Every structure is written in structure tokens, then in C-alpha cells.
Amino acid sequence: MLFKLALILIVFFSMVSVINAEDYNADQVIQLAKELRLSKHPSWVKLMHYERNVGSLPSLVSAIHDDSFFNSKDGAFDAYAELEATIRAFHTPISDGAVDSHAQCKFPARLLWLKKSLGKATDNLPMVYCPKYTKWVLNGSIKSISVVYASGFLGNPASYYGHILLKLNSRGSNGATRLFDPSVNYGAIIPSNEDPITYITKGVFGGYDGGFSQTDYYFHNRNYSELELRDIWEYEINLEKKDVDFIAAHAWEVLDKRYTYYFFRKNCAYRLAELIEIVDGVSILPSNRLFTLPRTLLQNIYDSRIHDKPLIRSVDVRPSRQSRFYKKFNLLTRSERSELRKVVDNGKGIFFEVNNTLSTDSQVKVTDTALDYYQFAKSAEIMTKDEADNLHHKALVRRFQLPSNNGTAVKSSLNPPHIGRKSSYVQVGVTYNESFGSGYSIRIRPAYYDVLDAASGQVKNSALTMGEVGLFAQSGKVRISHFDFLKIESVNASSTNLLGDTADAWKIKFSTQQQDLSCVDCLITRLEGDYGYALNLNNSVLVSAYFGGGVQDNRKGSGRAFIRTSAFAHIKFTSSFNMLLGVQLPKQLDGSNGQKNRYVLEARQRLGINSDIRFSYEENKSRQYGVNVGYYF
């Protein structure tokens, strides 16, 4: 009996001794973290968003300048101080009524990472229940994460290159309930009524704070798909549950925290990529140090792998109202289109005369297309809101009188934006000019596309260029032929020719360029713009006509102001060969006669996904021919 008692006591005390050995207090945990050099660990650096402070001290500074993100007063630049303060804060006893403000509730990703890094040393941390955070992670029901891409929108400079946000997919998420999934969005915080010049200048040079906000996904779905008519793409990331939880936890930490917003590099795509890169083994940020394009990020994500599996599990699309309307319209038969035209063109919302011969199915199709048309017409400002709402209501009344659909939703045929070429472009070739002979031409376009090479996810028949430079080399001398600060060509090509769906088109360009082709030393700076209409003659030919003008600095008799008419045709011979033809007829307003008619032809043959060859002819006081090979990177 005594032997048994002694044995029990020995076992008991040895257990107590073991528990004591694991019973770390805050100081001991900090010491262990110090020995493991956790403050220099890449994950800690990423969690704290430390960035290199080139050329000055301290060498690392957090991108977040928000005191509430740090537990130490020096946390913004002292990784060790912040680590130590964070461990201490995690050990702080829970105070009544303030659970959500406990450090474990505010920084759940740091907690997850420290538990993983320090193991049993963190077992003695107080157990804290965090109601708000638990609600954020949907009681642990987040099953995956999707990167969401809204295609480019030429109506707002901040959206030219598309927009990226993050969606947390709940466990029950399917085609319906995902509208309520939480989404995380990064954007600049801009005062209301900011003027455009200030908006662009401060956006580019870091004059605005930026930050993450969260809202239900349907907000973005409505904003982009219905109001701005932009297609939305969802890229579901192939991560394990623990990694999904880690990202969701870190997203919670950075919500409402203040960064500095930079339109070109440290923008929505950059900050969203950082959130995903918090997972070990994920490297998706584009290497370009000047700018981060959302589409390039998508391509990086799509091409990445984790644990020998593709990083992307699935790609899904939400076509915009405009895309849905065009898709439905294109599926209508000739007689159905004719009926739709009658309905739309009469402008009174009168559906189906008594003697109508359309079948019930056809009437359903026509009415459904009309519903899309009126919503599209409202968002595109083809008609006033009241007018569109009134006609939409009449279409609805008619639709209620027809049978319900039965799972016959129209499937989208849009190409996802990650497909196709890269976004930056370099071109080299030979050029012959009648006035000064032959030479080499070089063209570098950081981004994004021109009329001939618009890829999936970009606006067809349109162009968007920033910072394109063209050079001409001859006899050892290199001269600038043009530098485009900004060039936008927007063609809303009509797919239907329905009432109001006439395709307006506009162009704007701010550049430094040679006055004409007869001179290589006549650079002028010019701001020019045109407005007109475009028309799809068929699936292969689009024609457009414009009236416009411009102002420029007067050099060698170039004159200061002009107006012009112009016309263009874009012809697609095959899926890989297309051509642009154009003529511009200017008239100087100051009698200087400095501008001559301009005629252009440019033909593009795609060689591979990331390469092409182009032949060009241009006449503008002199004639010039060129053959150039291009590469996308």
C-alpha cells in the first residue's frame, strides 16, 4: 500500500514538474521568441507590412501608419519591440466588457502565427472569445478565398486598368448565397468633390491615405456589374483551410488601417497580393517595380502553384448587364429581334400586339432581353432614369403574364482576363521615311493596349496607353518620335443598333510628338480630343467617324489650335490578323497652315501569345513605311 502511494506521489509530482516546465509566462515566451529570432522572420515582417526604407534609417518601416495597428509605440519601425509588446498584450488578462479590444481579438493572425512558431510555450495564454472577429470569420465557416477582378472602366481614371478585391467564400457558398459573402476592398480615401487634377496628382504621388474596407459582396456586384457595366471575374484560390483562416485573420487585422495610396505601384492589386502572400510559399506580386496591374497579378496568380498544385482552383464570371443583354440579343431569331425592335423603337413599352405570331417561348425571350435593355440603357445613360424605369416596369408587367423560366439561364461565353498576352510591350523594327531615309524604330509601352491588340478583359476596338515612348535611330543618333503621356480611345461599339444603342466613341491624347513626318527635330506638345460614332458593319468590320480638335505649342509654324474631322476602320481578317485604316483632315484655326492631312494604315499579325509583327504606312506631309516585331512582357 505504501509502495502504491509512493508511486502515485512520484507520478503526480513529476507531472506537476512537467506542467511547470511548460507554464511559460510572458517574459519566458519573449525570451524564447528572441532566441528563435522571430522578429526577423519573413512572416513577421509580412504581418507587420514592414517595407525597406531605402537610403535612411530605420531600415524597415511599416506601410501602415496607424497607431492602432501597433502594440509598441515604436512598432512602426522596430520589429522586435512590436513582437515583445504583442506577446505581452496577448498575455494581458481579459477585462470586463472589453473582449473585442483585447490584443488577441485585434490581431488574430499574429496569434495564429506565434502559436505555430512557439508551440506549447503559448499554451498558457488566456483564452479570449472575440465576438466581432468570430462574426467576421462566419464562425469558422469560410471555406476558401477568391480574388475578384472587375474589368477596366474608361469612365474613371482610377478604374482604367480594372480593379481587384478579395472575397471570403462561406462554407455554404454557392451560386446564390455568395452574394452575401464578406469582401475586402482596398482603395484610396478621397474627400468628396475633389477636382480631377488634384485627384490624379495626389493619387499618383501618394497624397491620399488608402485602406481596406469590408462589405457584403453584393454591393460590388451591383456597383460594377449593374451600374458601371463591367464584367466581374472570380478566381478561387486553392489553399488549405488553415491558410484560408490565416488570410481571413490577417484581413481582419488590417481592416480600416491607414496606408499611403499610390495609384501605379502600391494600389489595390499590390495590397491584395500582400494579403495572399502572407501564406508561406505564395509569391504572386508582379516583379515590375514601377506599377502593379491587376490583370498582370491575375496572370501571376493563375500561373502559380502551391504544394505542386495550381494556385487557382476555379474561375467564374459574372457578366455585366450590358454583356448579358448583348448575349441574349445575339441568341434571338430574326423574328424575335424584329419584335424587340418594335417594342423598343415605339418608345412606349408596348409589348406584343394581339395578332402577334410569336410563340410563348419567343415572347419570353424578347421580354427578358427588353428587361436587360432598359437596365443597360439606364446605366449607359441612353435614356433618363425615369424613362428607363417606366419602360422597364411595363416590361415587368408583361413578364409576369408569361410563364416562369425553368433553369434556362444563358451561359456566358466571355474569355477570362488572365488569358492572352502580357500587358507591357516593346517593339523594334526598320522604318523608311521619304524625307530622311531609313533607320531603326523602337517603341516601348509600359501598358496597356491599342486598337489592334486589345486582349480579353480589355475594351475591344479601344486603346489605353500611358507613358508610351517611340524612338527613331539613324546614323548613330536617337531621336524621340513621340511620347504619349496618356492616350485613350473608347469605342462603345453597338452590338444591337437598337434605339439609343448607337455607339458613341471618343478619343483623348496628351503627348509630345513630331509636328509631322517631314521633320525629326520638330517636337511639339499637343492636347487633342475627338468625339464621334462607331458602327459595326458586321462581326469583322467596325467603322468610326469623329469631329475634334486640339491645342499645341507653336513651333516652326505648326500653329496653336486646330479642328479636324477623321474616320477610321478596324478590320479583322482572322482571329490573329487585323488592320487599322484611318484619315485625319485638320484645319488650323490661326491661319498658320501648319497641319496637313494624315493617312494611316497599320496591320498586325499575331505570331504567338506574346509576340506580333506589324506593317505600317503613314502619310503626313511625308510618307513613312515600317516593319516592326513586338514582344509582350
Partner 1 sequence: MYKFEKTFVVLVASLLFMMSFSVFAADGQNRVGSGPNPYRDCGIGAAIFPNHHVAATTSNVIWDLGTTAVTSATMSPETCSNVHAKTAKFILDNYDNLIEDVAKGEGEHLVAALDMEGCSSNKQADAVTMIRGNIGSKISLAEYSQKAKIDRAADYYYAVTFASSSCLI
Q: Is 205 in the site for partner 1 (CB under 8 A)?
A: no
Q: Confirm or reject binding of residue 129 to partner 1 (CB under 8 A).
A: no
CB of 564 to partner 1, least distance (A): 29
Residue 386 is a binding residue for partner 1 (CB under 8 A): no
User: Of 495, 265, 257, 476, which is closest to residue 369 (Cα–Cα)?
Assistant: 495
If one asks whether residue 303 binds partner 1 (CB under 8 A), the answer comes out as no
Q: Give the range of 9-17, 71-79, 168-176, 307-315 binding partner 1 by CB under 8 A.
A: 168-176
For partner 1, the closer CB: 52 or 411: 411
**Interaction of residue 120 with partner 1, rule CB under 8 A:** no
Q: What CA–CA distance (Å, rounded) separates 105 from 133?
A: 6
159 contributes a contact to partner 1 by CB under 8 A: yes
Q: Is 188 in the site for partner 1 (CB under 8 A)?
A: yes
Could you say which of 81, 89, 218, 549 contacts partner 1 (CB under 8 A)?
A: 218
CB nearer partner 1, residue 213 or residue 576: 213
DSSP string across 271-316: HHHHHHHTSTT---S-S-SS---HHHHHHHHHH-EETTEESEEEEE
Closest CA to 293 of 464, 457, 162, 123: 162
Nearer Cβ to partner 1, position 72 or 183? 183
Give the range of 61-69, 72-80, 215-223, 437-445 binding partner 1 by CB under 8 A.
215-223
Residue 215 in contact with partner 1, rule: CB under 8 A: yes
Q: Which of 609, 616, 606 minimizes the C-alpha distance to 575? A: 606
Grid cell of 368 as nine digits? 427578358
Residues 179, 182, 185, 191, Cα dihedral to 10°: 90
Residue 189 or 607 having the CB closest to partner 1: 189
492 touches 502 (CB < 8 A): no
Q: Is residue 163 a contact residue for partner 1 (CB under 8 A)?
A: yes
Residue 352, C-beta contacts closer than 8 angstroms, at least 6 positions apart: 339, 343, 358, 363, 366, 398
CB nearer partner 1, residue 70 or residue 376: 376
Rounded Cα distance, 237 and 140, in Å: 18
Choose one: 6-14, 217-225, 270-278, 509-517; the region binding partner 1 (CB under 8 A).
217-225
Smallest gap from Cβ 190 to partner 1, in A, equals: 5
**List of residues 6+ apart from 427 with CB closer than 8 A:** 441, 442, 443, 444, 445, 614, 628, 629, 630, 631
Beta strands in 497-576 (DSSP E): 503-514, 523-536, 541-552, 561-572
Among 214, 362, 490, 512, contact with partner 1 (rule: CB under 8 A): 214
Q: Measuring CA to CA, which residue among 189, 231, 229 is closest to residue 209?
A: 189
Taking the complex as a whole, how short is the minimal distance between the CB of residue 367 and partner 1, in angstroms?
9
| Residue count, binding to partner 1 (CB under 8 A) | 53
Comparison of 17 and 192: residue with beta carbon closer to partner 1: 192
Task: Please select the residue that binds partner 1; options are 42, 55, 93, 175, rule is CB under 8 A.
Answer: 175
Q: Residue 100 phi/psi, 5° resolution?
A: -70, -15
Q: Which of residues 404-433 bind partner 1 (CB under 8 A)?
A: 404-407, 409
Residue from 28, 139, 156, 415 touching partner 1 (CB under 8 A): that is 156
Q: Which of residues 389-408 bind partner 1 (CB under 8 A)?
A: 390, 392-393, 396-397, 399-400, 403-407
**Residue type, position 487, single letter:** K
* CB 8, CB 2: distance < 8 Å: no
Cβ atoms 573, 579 nearer than 8 A: yes
Q: Which of 84, 245, 336, 368 binds partner 1 (CB under 8 A)?
A: 368
Mark residues 584-603: x for contact with partner 1 by CB under 8 A, - for none: --------------------
Rounded-to-integer distance, Cα 189 and Cα 66, Å: 14
CA-to-CA distance for 234 and 384, rounded, in angstroms? 32
Binding part of the chain for partner 1, among 1-9, 55-63, 367-375, 439-447 by CB under 8 A, reads 367-375
β partners of residue 602: 580, 616
Instruction: Candidates 36-44, 140-148, 169-177, 598-606: pick the segment binding partner 1 (CB under 8 A).
Output: 169-177
CB 571 within 8 A of CB 540: yes
The binding track of 257-276 with respect to partner 1, each residue x by CB under 8 A or -, is -----------x--------
Query: Is residue 331 close enough to count as binding partner 1 by CB under 8 A?
Result: no
Residue 211: closest CA among 162, 156, 254: 254
CA 404 to CA 399: how far, in whole Å? 9
Is residue 155 near partner 1 by the rule CB under 8 A? yes
| CB 631 within 8 Å of CB 425 | yes
Among the listed ranges 9-17, 153-161, 500-508, 618-626, the one in contact with partner 1 (CB under 8 A) is: 153-161
Task: Report d(CA 103, CA 120) in Å as an integer.
Answer: 19
Q: Does 535 bind partner 1 (CB under 8 A)?
A: no
Q: Does 361 bind partner 1 (CB under 8 A)?
A: no
Cell numbers given for 133:
472577429
366 phi, psi to nearest 5 deg: -65, -45
Q: Is 365 in the site for partner 1 (CB under 8 A)?
A: no
Q: Which residue's CB is nearer to partner 1, number 155 or number 437?
A: 155
Site string for partner 1, 240-259 (x = CB under 8 A): ----------------x---
Q: Which three cell numbers stand for residue 283?
A: 509569391
Q: Measured from the CB atom, is 131 or 172 closer to partner 1?
A: 172
Pairing of strands 541-552, 523-536: antiparallel
CB atoms within 10 A of CB 283: 12
First CA to last CA across the chain, in angstroms? 82
d(CA 466, CA 154): 13
Task: Tell me the C-alpha distance between 478 and 475, whole Å.
Answer: 8
Residue 360 contacts partner 1 per CB under 8 A: no
- 207 sits near partner 1 (criterion: CB under 8 A): no
* Min separation Cβ 400 and partner 1, Å: 4
Min separation Cβ 177 and partner 1, Å: 5
| Shortest Å, Cβ 175 to partner 1 | 6
Binding site for partner 1 (CB under 8 A): 150, 153, 155-156, 158-159, 163, 172, 175-177, 179-180, 185, 187-190, 211, 213-216, 218-220, 222-224, 226-228, 256, 268, 368, 371, 375, 379, 381, 385, 390, 392-393, 396-397, 399-400, 403-407, 409
